[in-house]
């Protein structure tokens, strides 16, 4: 059994130092915000009524988080496109943002190439690669990500600049105070969740212990819908483990009926219900009733509440907890959290099939 309070275990199992990126997220968010606020974005873009964010995996999650965070906006409507083809509704009042950390994501390149043929507004977020070259050739603005990491560890750059861009175009009110409060919350959480904080008081380590050997099922709602997706993908990629996510209230119309069979699975699952006070009052009731249904079927579960006040802080604080928990689960699984060999294999096979 791995001892999460033994500092030597991190040196042995995390040679690429994913730990450093976890420590760096508060600073990364603050840096990305400042850089995005200084980014020159044409006010012609303010005429849009739709935003389509192209991306996959860790480069797309920022778009999903933005969609939740800005869900009360009447304009622009925000879409996230995780596919090869550009949606047919894209027109001259659409801002297409191609987000690819590497700049070589084939689905994103395909959809962006289609966007280049149309009259939509365009913006690219990347470290380089083919996407940067395509954008520069077409004189499309490029927001450069100056961070060396796995795409999933660059969350500050895939999400926070999107808020700044909507603010610059006049769709969101001034968010600097809210962003600063969020980064301060993350810095406070860092002290509670980092590797030197003992398991006896470390919620992320405790959660990882509960998840070890289990299938993780993550529930979220409202502004936490994409947060639940983030938990799922981090457990997949960092922990190399099965995980799934669902959202309220939809899951109450189907998933709860499926708790019954196969009965053997009840002991193999741990359900995490992510909750925050800003959710719809009726949805909050659904959390309690769903917990009762899980208990009736003897399915291990727990509700995790955000302790933060503002919606951005509620989202990011729960993301940070999930990132740390997935990291500790990787350590418990005695696997390096950084490489994603299955994805590398898939990309190799796809390149051979061209």
Question: What is the number of other CB atoms lying within 10 angstroms of the CB of residue 163?
Answer: 23
Q: What is the pLDDT of residue 303?
A: 98
CB-based contacts of 218: which residues, under 8 Å, 6+ apart?
228, 229, 231, 232, 235, 243, 244, 245, 246, 271, 272, 274, 322
Q: Is 131 left (phi over 0), alpha (psi -120 to 50) or beta?
A: alpha
- pLDDT given at position 115: 98
Q: Which of 68, 106, 67 is nearest to 84 (CA)?
A: 106
How far apart (Å, rounded) are the C-alpha atoms in residues 206 and 184? Answer: 23
If you ran DSSP here, which 8-state letter would residue 103 be given? S
Question: How high is the pLDDT of residue 1?
Answer: 84
Partner residues linked to 122 by β-bridges: 96
Catalytic residues: 237, 253, 347
The distance of Cα 36 from the centroid of its chain, to the nearest Å, equals 19
Report the alpha-carbon distance of residue 288 to residue 46 in Å, rounded: 42
Spacing of C-alpha 200 from chain mean position? 27
155 closest CA partner among 213, 82, 215, 229: 229
DSSP 297: T
Domains of the chain with bracketed CATH: 8-15+198-332 (3.40.50.10490), 18-174 (3.40.50.10490)
Per residue, the 3-state secondary structure of 51-83, as one string, reads: EEEECCHHHCHHHHHHHHHCCCCCCCEEEEECC
Enter the tokens of residue 182: 């969020």
SS3 175: coil
Per-position pLDDT tens, the chain of length 354? 899 999 999 999 999 999 999 999 999 999 999 999 999 999 999 999 999 999 999 999 999 999 999 999 999 999 999 999 999 999 999 999 999 999 999 999 999 999 999 999 999 999 999 999 999 999 999 999 999 999 999 999 999 999 999 999 999 999 999 999 999 999 999 999 999 999 999 999 999 999 999 999 999 999 999 999 999 999 999 999 999 999 999 999 999 999 999 999 999 999 999 999 999 999 999 999 999 999 999 999 999 999 888 999 999 999 999 999 999 999 999 999 999 999 999 999 999 997
- Count of CB atoms within 10 A of residue 65's CB? 28
Question: What's the rounded Cα separation, in Å, for the pair 79 and 67?
Answer: 7
Ramachandran bin of 124, using left for φ above 0, alpha for ψ from -120 to 50, beta for the remaining angles? beta
């Amino acid at each position: 059994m791995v001892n999460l309070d033994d500092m030597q275990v991190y040196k042995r199992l995390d040679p690429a130092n994913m730990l450093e990126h976890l420590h760096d997220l508060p600073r990364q968010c603050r840096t990305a915000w400042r850089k995005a606020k200084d980014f020159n974005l044409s006010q012609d873009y303010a005429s849009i009524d739709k935003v389509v964010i192209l991306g996959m995996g860790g480069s797309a999650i920022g778009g999903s988080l933005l969609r939740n965070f800005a869900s009360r906006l009447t304009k622009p409507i925000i879409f996230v496109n995780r596919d090869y083809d550009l949606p047919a509704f894209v027109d001259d009042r659409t801002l297409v943002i191609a987000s690819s950390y590497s700049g070589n994501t084939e689905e994103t390149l395909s959809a962006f190439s289609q966007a280049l043929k149309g009259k939509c507004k365009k913006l690219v977020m990347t470290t380089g690669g083919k996407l940067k070259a395509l954008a520069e050739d077409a004189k499309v603005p490029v927001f450069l990500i100056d961070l060396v990491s796995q795409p999933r560890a660059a969350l500050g750059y895939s999400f926070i600049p999107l808020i700044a861009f909507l603010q610059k175009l006049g769709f969101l009110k001034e968010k600097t105070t809210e962003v600063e409060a969020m980064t301060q919350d993350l810095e406070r959480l860092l002290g509670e969740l980092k590797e030197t904080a003992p398991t006896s008081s470390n919620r992320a380590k405790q959660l990882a212990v509960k998840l070890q050997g289990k299938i993780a099922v993550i529930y979220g709602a409202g502004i936490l819908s994409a947060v639940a997706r983030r938990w799922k993908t981090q457990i997949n990629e960092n922990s190399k483990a099965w995980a799934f996510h669902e959202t309220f209230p939809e899951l109450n119309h189907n998933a709860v009926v499926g708790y019954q069979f196969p009965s053997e699975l009840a002991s193999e699952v741990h359900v995490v219900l992510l909750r925050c006070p800003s959710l719809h009052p009726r949805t909050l009731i659904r959390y309690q009733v769903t917990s009762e249904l899980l208990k009736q079927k003897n399915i291990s579960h727990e509700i995790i509440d955000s302790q933060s006040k503002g919606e951005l802080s509620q989202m990011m604080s729960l993301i940070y907890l999930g990132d740390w928990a997935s990291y500790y689960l990787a350590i418990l699984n005695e696997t390096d959290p950084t490489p994603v060999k299955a994805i590398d294999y898939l990309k190799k096979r796809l390149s051979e099939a061209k």
